[in-house]
Amino acid sequence: MGAPVRVHVASDVHGAARELAGAATGSDVFVCLGDLICFLDYHDPSRGIFADLFGPDHALRYIELRTAGRYEEARALSDQAWVGIGVPERSGRWSVMEAMVRAQYEKLFEAMPAPALLTYGNVDLPALWPDYVREDHRVVDGDVVEMDGMRWGFVGGGLVSPMRTPYEIAPEDYAAKVASLGPVDVLFTHIPPAVPELVYDIEARRFEVGSQALLEYVQRVQPRYHLFGHIHQPLAARMRIGRTECINVGHFAGTGRPFALDIR
Ligand SMILES: [Mn+2]
């Protein structure tokens, strides 16, 4: 048996550029599972694009409404706030947001270790990535990378949800990406398989969206590992599904540390 491959995995970076810069130290391979952008910080409402645009009080109220599942009221509050900063037309908002997203991506991709294997989270804008990825940043979505005689599969993005985050995919399109992988030894995705314990967030107190297609894939293909993020405070951070060890790699923005695993 050869030497193990030590992989460091970071997911849900949400603006933590400083910590990201050191996240590959000591690893053979660095993997980032997305959600680079910070729109809102549920722990620190003074951080993120919403707070920068509308102030921390607005961000806090917006967070409260969304946490309570009052999405329509949250949207109305946000409409008001846009009027407040002199951008009443919906059509004018994107250019303001895009400039702020670009400023974050510039910092984050500069801090991103290289080489790295990357895929998208639901809080990412794939169309902007080509402007920021560096030469040794390999973006993989619905595809397989050969690694030391193993097949590592990657599926990025989230599924359609009431949160209306930027990169949400219809379940049938997501399932098609999963199906296109073929068999893999290690599966990397942003979102978890649809297992209640893995998708329930004990702090937000709600079920987030997991993927039925991922669950069926894991049950059928039985990769050695399925590594994912997305749920910041999961009810269960790991679980066996048959032979597969399913692991939530943790909330990088909260811990500042990558998940480390030796794979042989
Ligand atoms: Mn996410």
For 160-174, write each residue's pLDDT tens digit: 998 889 999 999 999
261 pLDDT exceeds 90?
Answer: yes
Q: Name the helix (H) or strand (E) containing 211.
A: none
pTM for this prediction? 0.94
pLDDT score for 259: 98
**CA 34–ligand 1 middle distance (angstroms):** 7
**For the chain, what is the domain count?**
1
CATH of residue 215: 3.60.21.10
**CA 199–ligand 1 middle distance (angstroms):** 11
Rounded mean pLDDT, 138-156: 97
Q: Which of 79, 75, 168 is nearest to 125 (CA)?
A: 168
- Provide the domain limits for residue 127: 5-37+114-263
Rounded mean pLDDT, 210-215: 98
Q: Is the C-alpha dihedral spanning 197, 231, 181, 30 positive or negative?
A: negative
pLDDT score for 48: 93
**CA 31–ligand 1 middle distance (angstroms):** 15
In a domain? residue 49: no
pLDDT score for 133: 98
In a domain? residue 106: no
- Residue 81 near residue 60, CB atoms below 8 Å: no
**CA 251–ligand 1 middle distance (angstroms):** 10
pLDDT score for 1: 57
In a domain? residue 213: yes
